[in-house]
Amino acid sequence: MKYFKMLAGILMMMLYSCSGNAQKNDQMDNARNNNPYYSRTDTTHLNVSDAEWKKILPHDLYEVAREQGTERAFTGKYWDSETKGTYYCAVCGNKLFLSDAKFASSCGWPSFFEPVRKNSVLYKDDYSYGMHRIEVECARCNSHLGHIFDDGPPPTHKRFCMNSVSLDFEPGI
Ligand code: FE
């Protein structure tokens, strides 16, 4: 009887944790489902106005992705994450980076030495704040992701310094 109670307790705990995960996944799916442009398979270029994105995207994502904002260093959810998986564009679902290209950077933002495909991102000159930087955009939806610098590790020596909020992470390879 004692063992039966223990077993039942463990089973309940497992069920509880499973339903918690299911709830989290549901919330994520709802966020994506409310975004008719989100797709991890469709690579067609999107031409969506900022006014429309504003209606679809959460405020913090809109501010970074469509208004070239920057989240505060050491505050994003992925800056120190070492979990294996794939990073997609949080706006449109375009595949952007693999965890294998992520490296521990002291800058406080998730940093990668290369994108998953050369054409998954675009580069633009950015002269804001009185300096010249290279802005990195998602090639599918033209959302702002972050900037690229020349102080990364081998083999590319590039540092794609990204905003966590612009990324959508899927664990596992
Ligand atoms: Fe995108």
DSSP string, 26-88: HHHHHHHHT-TT--SS--PPP---HHHHHHHS-HHHHHHHTT---PPTT-SSSTT----EEEE
- Torsion angle defined by CA atoms of residues 98, 104, 110 and 112, in that order, rounded to the nearest 10 degrees: -40
pLDDT number for residue 64: 97
The pLDDT tens digits of the residues spanning 27-71 come to: 455 556 689 999 999 999 999 999 999 999 999 999 999 999 999
pTM across the whole model: 0.82
> Cα(first)–Cα(last) distance of the chain, in Å?
43
The pair of structure tokens assigned to 47 is 């031409």
Dihedral angle over CA of 112, 34, 66, 150, nearest 10? 10
Nearest to 98 by CA among 76, 113, 116: 116
68: closest CA among 161, 134, 168, 143? 143
Per-residue tokens: 38: 């989100």
d(CA 4, ligand 1 centre) in Å? 51
Q: How far is the CA of 142 from the centre of ligand 1 (A)?
A: 6
- Looking at per-residue confidence, does 106 or 146 come out higher? 146
- Can you say whether the dihedral through the CA atoms of 88, 94, 99, 104 is positive or negative? negative
| Integer Cα distance of 52 and 36 in angstroms | 11
Q: Rounded CA gap, 71 and 53, in Å? A: 19
In the predicted model, what is the mean pLDDT of the chain? 87
**Enzyme catalytic residues:** 161
The rounded Å distance from CA 39 to ligand 1 centre is: 9
Distance from residue 16's CA to the centre of ligand 1 (Å):
35
CB burial of residue 135 (10 Å; 0-12, 13-18, 19+): middle
Find the 46 Cα to ligand 1 centroid distance in Å: 8
Cβ atoms within 10 A of the Cβ of 3, count? 7
pLDDT in tens, 72-99: 999 999 999 999 999 999 999 999 999 9
